[in-house]
Amino acid sequence: MSTELAWFKSSYSDDEGGECVEVSAPHPDTIHIRDSKLGSGPEVRVSAATWTEFISHVAGA
């Protein structure tokens, strides 16, 4: 089984060099988040429950 993550760039990101974020495809326990400008740079990892809560909060804002 491959351990390579599939990354998805935010639809709000563009090629202008501003704030760009990528999120990994659903992973069993952890959501991986990174700056798309850095490619394979550092990642922030949060639990799936934390990510769901975050998205719910942002969607309600």
The pLDDT of 6-25, averaged and rounded, is 70
pTM score, two decimals?
A: 0.65
Structure confidence at residue 2 (pLDDT): 46
Relative to beta strand 30-35, strand 7-9 is unpaired
pLDDT tops 50 at residue 29: yes
DSSP symbols for 2-54: --PPPEEE-TT--TTSS--EEEESP-SSEEEEEEGGGSS--EEEEEHHHHHHH
